Amino acid sequence: MADAESDARRLATEARDRVRFEEEVLGLADQVYRVARRLVSSREEAEDLVQETYARAFRSWRSYTPGTNLRAWLMRILTNLNIDRGRREQRSPDMQPMEEGDYYLYNRLEQSGAADDEERVVERLSQDSIVEALAGVPHDFRDVIVLVDIGDFSYQEAAQILDVPIGTVMSRLHRGRRILKGELAESAVGEES
């Protein structure tokens, strides 16, 4: 009798924990979608990826430790599924010389029109060109940019999500942002001509 009562209590606690988990996970859906949308190239792919992520998260809810970083836990499922889905071949980026890469975009934009200050000059880029340029960054680099710049994850969290050392996150971020700026500079030149 006592066993039956304790079983019932355990089941009730588990059911309550599960509902709480599901609600918290669903509350993060917009953030998960924003990251997914920039990891893959189309809206449809992003929707599929988010659905797969949620299906897996709900199935494996017991493997989440309450009180730990749920957003990072979900993102780890998402990035693993994205890798499992197979990534299409991408061209290697044309790298600007290292010493030029970081300010090449700025100089390009600055040369492309009337004087603006450092904060306004980015407005010469169209939003579409930014989305396109990010999509052109190779996956390994893009994953890190998306997690840190769009998902607001720290370097440490991104390292855990992607299961790579923090130094790798930092170097990929650095190189990825440089590639992104190179792509943007190319599109800025393209729009001028």
User: Should residue 13 be labelled a site residue for another protein when binding is judged by CB under 8 A?
Assistant: no
User: CA 155, CA 147: separation in Å to the nearest integer?
Assistant: 9
Angle subtended at Cα 71 by Cα 69 and Cα 76, rounded to the nearest 5 degrees = 95
| Of the residues 33, 70, 93, 140, which one makes contact with another protein according to CB under 8 A | 33
83 touches another protein (CB under 8 A): no
108: Cβ contacts below 8 Å, ≥ 6 apart: 185, 188, 189
* One of 9, 20, 62, 120 touching another protein (CB under 8 A): 120
Q: Is 50 in the site for another protein (CB under 8 A)?
A: yes
Nearer to another protein, 3 or 31 (CB): 31
- Provide the phi-psi class of 144: left if phi over 0, else alpha when psi is between -120 and 50, else beta: alpha
Please tell me the distance from the alpha carbon of residue 53 to that of residue 32, in angstroms, as a whole number: 9
- Give the residue, chosen from 81, 105, 162, 179, that forms a contact with another protein under the rule CB under 8 A: 105
Query: Which of 155, 164, 168, 171 lies at the binding interface for another protein (CB under 8 A)?
Result: 155
Say how many Å lie between the first and final Cα of the chain, rounded.
83
Residue from 69, 154, 168, 171 in contact with another protein (CB under 8 A)? 154
CB of 130 to another protein, least distance (A): 4
Contacting residue, 70, 83, 121, 164, with another protein by CB under 8 A: 121
Do 69 and 184 contact (CB within 8 A), yes or no? no
Q: Between 81 and 105, whose beta carbon lies closer to another protein?
A: 105
Taking each continuous run of H as one helix and of E as one strand, the counts in the chain are 9, 0
CA distances from 155 to 67, 101, 150, 172, 184 (A): 20, 22, 13, 11, 24
Binding region for another protein (CB under 8 A): 22, 26, 29-30, 33-34, 37-38, 43, 47, 50-51, 54-55, 58-59, 99, 102-103, 105-107, 110-111, 115-123, 125, 127-128, 130-131, 134, 146, 148-150, 154-155, 170, 173-174, 177, 180-181
